[in-house]
Amino acid sequence: MKTRLATTCLLALAAGLPLSPAVAQIAPTSPPAARAEEEVVKLNVFEVATESDRGLLSTNAVSATKNNTPIKDIPANIYVLNESFIKDQIPFDLNDILRFAPGINLDGDYRNETYQIRGFSGGLPLADGFTISRSFPTEQSAVERVEVLQGPAGILFGNVAGVGGIVNRIMKKPSFKSASSLGVSYRNDANNVRLVYDSTGPLRQSKKLAYRLIAAFQHTDGIMDRVKTDRQFIRPTLLWKISDQTKLTIEPDITWQRTVVGYRYDYFNRSANGALIRVPDGINPAEDYQHTNNKKYSVMTTFIHQFSPDWTFRAATFATANFLYDDDPRVATALNGDNRTINRGAADAANGYPAGYLQQQDRYVGNYYLQADLSGKFNLGSAVFRPVAGLEWKLDPNQISIRRTVGGLGGVANAPFDMFAPRYKEFAYQAPIVTYDQQQNYTDARGLYFNNQVNLFSDRLKLVTGVRFIKSATANRTRRRQEAENRAATTAGRTPLNTRTTGETDWDHTKRIGAVYDVTKALGAFAGYSESYEARTNTNNLGEAYPPGIGEQKEAGLKTGFFDGRITSTVSYYELKQTNNILSYATGTTGPRGETSDAIGSVQAKGWDVSGVVTVTESLQFLPGYSRTKATTLVGGSLNATGSTTSNLEITRYPANVAKLYGKYTFKGGAFKGLSLNGGGVYTNSVNQGVLAGIAPAPTTNRSNSIIPSSMVWNIGANYWRKGWGYGVKVDNLANLRYYIPSASSTTRALIGLPRVVSFDVTRKF
């Protein structure tokens, strides 16, 4: 550990103050467009001028270095989904934005902002560099652009569980240029309606204060029986220009959402062939028992002071509190042996609970941040140094209260639900509470990081070094109490059964080193090494805390800007590994201390990916992407009683080949001026859901035959702007193909993708 730390310090300080992790979607260098005269707040190193975007092409990003950095100068793979792209998608959720994102595989439906990058979880989505709870989807109307960094990002973002990469949403900010809009969107998947109001400008003609108000309302009846969602969102933000060098931004937002949940699954046949059984559309075994109520309150403050044109200080705070309540009828994840009925209220034999209970959950999730950064620039001879140094403190408390009740039909628990001849409201959950669990955990992570970028040889060679020192403390407390036989039981009537407290404190560090060399003006070569760090609050059956997960990546590739930047691309080869992977012992066996799992495994992904923007003409652009990934457990299979493993298993829940292509044509003049046409396709090859990391297939199951078929899904759309009015239309899944989301499926069922839906949008600017 000491040798590793010393080596890191030498690497990090080799060029002065080290710099931050990098990113790359190749792009030509082009000077930012001039700011509008009405805009009186100058951009600083922590912001990107969106005016420099050219259609789908964005040349700069902040997510890799916390600085406004040309993408071509960063030794990693990054790309930007800018405002032009986002508007065309008529986004109701994050999945609408990421559908054509190169290298990303969606890992759930719209309720779960989950995705995979390079064979690993992408971790929690970020907003302006801060992690946001995945309790329910973030409102997309407040998002200006999305930056996707592939690979570990432990230097800048610290304790982020994003081994494969991160998705950072850059939020809309107040402006002194007045602008307002009112938009109505409709999608025909059962009356999905959104109303969005967005207004910004100086506050009462002030030259010091500017505001931005975004408000949104959404209602949908859903495409499943008895499913619906209601959401309200408001984000009033304020910018105070204290002086030409100093500004303060305050960004609160509030979200309320109530959802009656239903998931669209087809199920694998219980026989040996494992074929998919197609369930009739709309069937919802959860009925309206499964619902969630969510409230989120957050506020972000950012203070920026520019000491000189080369040195800037930033201090930021972020606080969010999420309150959730949900009822879960515990619908089984597999059909019964008749291949048509499914049980509600899955049994929890490990904890002694019968089938048929309704689980009720109250949850509080908090995220609290404090960040301070100093960014600079100086020259030593012909070398140009761009150091960044920062401090960060992050506290993530989490409290869950769980209640379970026994239910049944006429006193018989777990009455089967016929998926092909549904009869709703025949299964009534009863009132008595069986158990009351309370779980509390938190992560307290503190970091000190240094990053530096050095430009040498007339900017042909860019060196990047960085290190973050981490102190992470986790704690987990679990209490279980037996309830009296009715809900009216007082606190005094509850008998404590078990209380357990565990925790762990860890000191560690992550590092990064990389280089970009411009072989020619249009061709660059890069190589890099980066790490990630993930503190864990979960424990094994003995209450022992798991050690943190460490991600390591080696990456090399080429970046192009051929034909004066008309073909910009990044081609990357990578080897990515996460250690301390949690594996389970074989069924019926335990470790020497009686543990049923241990963090001794590691998972590796190897592959290559391509992303970029092709500008055929000023009017016609394409956004292509391709990824080839093979993920394998290095220490795989189930553990046996001696702690050794049985085999190395390929993780097949991630598709090996994913190809995406998105295109847009804009009429620049003539009778069709203001009209743009867009569309594209996503190809995903077949996936075997049967072999899971760390779990050996049992011969009595169909795990080795759970095949998700390959799919090719096409979307088309159009947008038209004239005299302040905007009209948009988009058709998702043009051929109405029944396709599946591989990584969100399992050995027993497959999550169905979006059917053919048509979205409309009308926006008035004033």
- As a whole number of Å, the end-to-end CA separation of the chain is 60
- Window from 315-324, 447-456, 520-529, 638-647 with minimum mean pLDDT: 638-647
pTM of the prediction? Answer: 0.87
Confidence of residue 61 (pLDDT cuts 50, 70, 90): confident
Q: What is the mean pLDDT of residues 84-111?
A: 85
Amino acid symbol at 37: E
CB 179, CB 43: distance < 8 Å:
no
Q: Which pLDDT score, from 0 to 100, does residue 719 have?
A: 97
Domain ranges of the chain: 2-765
Cross-strand pairs, 572: 557, 609
What is the Cα–Cα distance from 182 to 71, expressed in whole angstroms?
34
What is the Cα–Cα distance from 276 to 291, expressed in whole angstroms?
28
Confidence of residue 146 (pLDDT cuts 50, 70, 90): very high
pLDDT of 734-763, one tens digit each? 999 999 988 666 778 888 988 999 999 999
3-state secondary structure of 265: strand
- Window from 114-123, 461-470, 576-585, 696-705 with minimum mean pLDDT: 696-705
What is the Cα–Cα distance from 625 to 98, expressed in whole angstroms?
12
Chain CA centroid to CA 60, Å: 21
CATH class of this structure's domain 2-765: mainly beta
What is the Cα–Cα distance from 194 to 198, expressed in whole angstroms?
13
- Window from 67-81, 288-302, 483-497 with minimum mean pLDDT: 483-497
CA nearest neighbour of 365 among 122, 168, 132, 546: 132
- Is the pLDDT assigned to residue 641 strictly greater than 60? no
Q: What is the mean pLDDT of residues 245-271?
A: 89
Q: Which pLDDT score, from 0 to 100, does residue 285 have?
A: 87
Residue 287 — φ and ψ, nearest 5°?
Answer: 50, -135
Confidence of residue 132 (pLDDT cuts 50, 70, 90): confident
261 or 720, greater pLDDT = 720
Q: Which pLDDT score, from 0 to 100, does residue 255 have?
A: 94
Which two structure tokens, joined as six digits, stand for 390?
């920062």
pLDDT of 5-45, one tens digit each? 444 443 333 333 333 333 334 333 343 343 433 444 455 56
Which two structure tokens, joined as six digits, stand for 184?
């109505």
CA nearest neighbour of 41 among 204, 318, 249, 235: 249
Round the average pLDDT of the chain to a whole number and report it. 81
421: number of Cβ within 10 Å = 10
671 half-sphere exposure, CB direction, 13 A CA radius: 0
Q: Which pLDDT score, from 0 to 100, does residue 413 have?
A: 54
Confidence of residue 473 (pLDDT cuts 50, 70, 90): confident
3-state secondary structure of 98: helix
Which two structure tokens, joined as six digits, stand for 8?
């890191």
3-state secondary structure of 387: strand
What is the Cα–Cα distance from 515 to 336, expressed in whole angstroms?
56
Q: Which pLDDT score, from 0 to 100, does residue 260 have?
A: 84
% residues pLDDT > 90 (the chain): 44
- Is the pLDDT assigned to residue 410 strictly greater than 90? no
Q: Which pLDDT score, from 0 to 100, does residue 357 have?
A: 63
Q: Which pLDDT score, from 0 to 100, does residue 587 have?
A: 62
CA nearest neighbour of 625 among 662, 660, 664: 660
- Is the pLDDT assigned to residue 616 strictly greater than 90? yes
- Is the pLDDT assigned to residue 646 strictly greater than 70? no
